[in-house]
Amino acid sequence: MTVKIEAKDLTKVYPSRNGPICALRDFSLRVEEGEFVCIVGPSGCGKSTFLRILGGLITPSSGRVELFPRDEKAPLQNIVFQEYAIFPWKTVLDNVAFGLEMRGVPRTKRRETARDWIRKVGLAKFADAYPHQLSGGMKQRVSIARAFANDPEILLMDEPLGALDAQTRVILQGELVRLWEASRKTVVYITHSIEESVLLGDRIVLMTAHPGTYKTEFSVPFARPRSFELTGAPEFARLSYAIWQELEVEVKRTMEKQL
Amino acid sequence: MSGSCWRMASCTRDRLISVFFPLALLALWEMAVRLQWLDGRFFPAPTAVAAALWELTVKGELLGKLWLLPGLVAAGDFSGARKVFAEGHLWVSLFRIFSGFFVGAVPGIILGVVMGMNRTIRVALDPVVSAVYVLPKIAILPLVMLVFGIGEVSKIVIVAIASFFLVLINTTVGVRDIEPIFIEAGRNYGANRRQMFRHIIIPAALPIIFSGLRLSLGTSLIVIIAAEFVAANYGLGYLIWFSWQTLLTENMFAGLVVIMILGALFTSGLQALERRLMPWQREEMPASADGADVGGTGKV
């Protein structure tokens, strides 16, 4: 196995009116190529900050992070944002083709690729629609297709299904698992749903309450391809519960601080 | 404008009401003047106003002596043709409004984007902009005339100043209020500076920029009428003012009617432009529940 992501002692401190706030403290993580790593933690634990550091949107206050490209010309990483990050002023087709357009891929070629991915996420009939004509689940499919169409080596997913209702979420989890298993890209997946992380991930990293840092990790032994059926298995419930036992104390600490 | 109506029957009913009620008001007005409940010298009957409007048009005061145009153009006398328009109150006001609007709005948008993007420039200019913004623009007309004289330029400049600040402030707000996540998405997908402007900043701020344009076009109309009251020999404002001084109240009302029509045309013109430039803003029902055709999802 080759190392794809190496983060060492990452700390991010934000200035604020009430003095500096430490969003992330001494966080280290190594991700192998082709691995699907889920990061789970209570809200405000800095998991989104970590993802944005990986995505090059935030520079850490200290520590270092390295992503190892296989192909220098291909895009290295892209973020799958939540649904509201797709551009309302672009059609579904132009949203999905966005990364390709920024890289200067010719119009016919990028439209062809985008249409292909729009079809794969089941939105073929909506290629020329604008986002306001779509439901939340459909918008999230656009956001996922936008990242896959750009074909980066690493996918960074920032609670991509967090804003969806429970039923739509189950459908999209299934689709995401299927898309990923076909491509086997390296994935860092932020979520606060334990079930989602067990269903999707190869490895689950838990973070502590604020200021967030590494707490512990679990490896997920279930065979692939996986589907929602897995959530009915006793081993699935046992692993989810074991993770919850570790996480519970952190969640309670977070809640106490908010009171 | 009648609001949204869903059923055909209530739609027709709404439309009928919205047409007939104003007509009934006009009829009532007409009757009131004829029965001498209202003094026709101050409130001329609608028919008298319509007659005055017709009179102003055929005499060439409102639109200029348009019937001279073919002859002048045929004779190659283009300065004469221009003079025809320069003697029509409507054209004169329209020219002042649009040239001032253009001269003010374009730099307003450009500086607004710069102020929205650059914190230093914003902090430096904000107090100046806010201070000048609250000043009623017509109040600086004497100053403008001192600098630019009493000719056409002053009128264009005063409209430009009024437009500039409204567009500037709206554009700045529009650019500042762009959701940071759109900027992040642009950066993460490798947009360079130029692409960032074209694909994210301009379209994201466009709805607010447009509300600035709408406001400033309305304000331009107010400002030019007021300026023409005091310092002009042509223009709709002059027409109203002169009619008042000579007690030709029918002409005064005719001027008001023309301004009302102008205002309505400006509004609907901008709305049409907005629909064209921002198709994503069109009101439409979102697809029901989660309408994605899951069945059509091919194997990857």
Prediction ipTM score: 0.92
Whose tokens are 């292909």? That residue is A116
Mean pLDDT calculated for residue range A102-128: 95
Do the domain assignments include residue B206? yes
- Kindly give the pairing relationship between strand A62-67 and strand A77-80: unpaired
pLDDT confidence band for B119 (50 / 70 / 90): very high
pLDDT 10s digits, A73-100 = 889 999 999 878 999 999 999 999 999 9
B290 close contact with A: CB closer than 8 A: yes
Q: A89 vs B298: CB contact, 8 Å cut-off?
A: no
Q: What is the CATH number of the domain that holds B134?
A: 1.10.3720.10
Partners of residue A174 in chain B, C-beta under 8 Å: none
Cα of B281 to nearest chain A Cα, Å:
8
Partners of residue B285 in chain A, C-beta under 8 Å: 133
The answer to whether the beta carbons of residues A154 and A188 sit under 8 Å apart is yes
CA-angle at B210, arms to B125 and B161, nearest 5°: 45
Q: A130 vs B185: CB contact, 8 Å cut-off?
A: no
| CATH 3.40.47.10 for domain A3-76+154-258 | no
Residue of chain A whose alpha carbon sits nearest to that of B198: A102
pLDDT of res. B5: 61
Residue of chain A whose alpha carbon sits nearest to that of B204: A89
Mean pLDDT calculated for residue range A215-240: 93
Beta strands in chain A, from DSSP E residues, in sequence order:
3-14, 21-32, 36-40, 62-67, 77-80, 154-158, 186-191, 203-207, 214-219
Do the domain assignments include residue B67? no
* Residue B1 confidence (pLDDT) above 60: no
How many domains does chain B divide into?
1
Do the domain assignments include residue B123? yes
A227 close contact with B: CB closer than 8 A: no
What is the share, in percent, of chain B residues with pLDDT greater than 70?
A: 91
What domain range is B223 assigned to? 78-278
Do the domain assignments include residue B58? no
Do the domain assignments include residue B26? no
Distance from C-alpha of A43 to C-alpha of B283, rounded to nearest angstrom: 35
The answer to whether the beta carbons of residues A9 and A62 sit under 8 Å apart is yes
CA-angle at A72, arms to A71 and A75, nearest 5°: 85
Do the domain assignments include residue B63? no
pLDDT confidence band for B76 (50 / 70 / 90): confident
Phi and psi angles of residue B192, each rounded to the nearest 5 degrees, phi first: -85, 180
Q: Tell me the domain boundaries of chain A.
A: 3-76+154-258, 84-151
Residue of chain B whose alpha carbon sits nearest to that of A136: B290
pLDDT of res. B288: 45
Longest CA pairwise span in chain B (Å):
83
Mean pLDDT calculated for residue range B160-168: 95
Total number of residues shown for chain A: 259
A226 close contact with B: CB closer than 8 A: no
| Closest to A44 (Cα-Cα) out of A7, A19, A12, A8 | A12
A172 close contact with B: CB closer than 8 A: no
pLDDT of res. A248: 93
* Residue A12 confidence (pLDDT) above 50: yes
pLDDT confidence band for B11 (50 / 70 / 90): confident
Closest partner residue to A57 (CB to CB) among B187, B287, B294 is B187
**Range 35-54 of A in CB contact (< 8 A) with B:** 52
Mean pLDDT calculated for residue range A4-19: 92
Distance from C-alpha of A210 to C-alpha of A207, rounded to nearest angstrom: 9
Partners of residue A81 in chain B, C-beta under 8 Å: 181, 184-185
Partners of residue A178 in chain B, C-beta under 8 Å: 300
Q: A141 vs B192: CB contact, 8 Å cut-off?
A: no
Q: A178 vs B300: CB contact, 8 Å cut-off?
A: yes
A102 close contact with B: CB closer than 8 A: yes
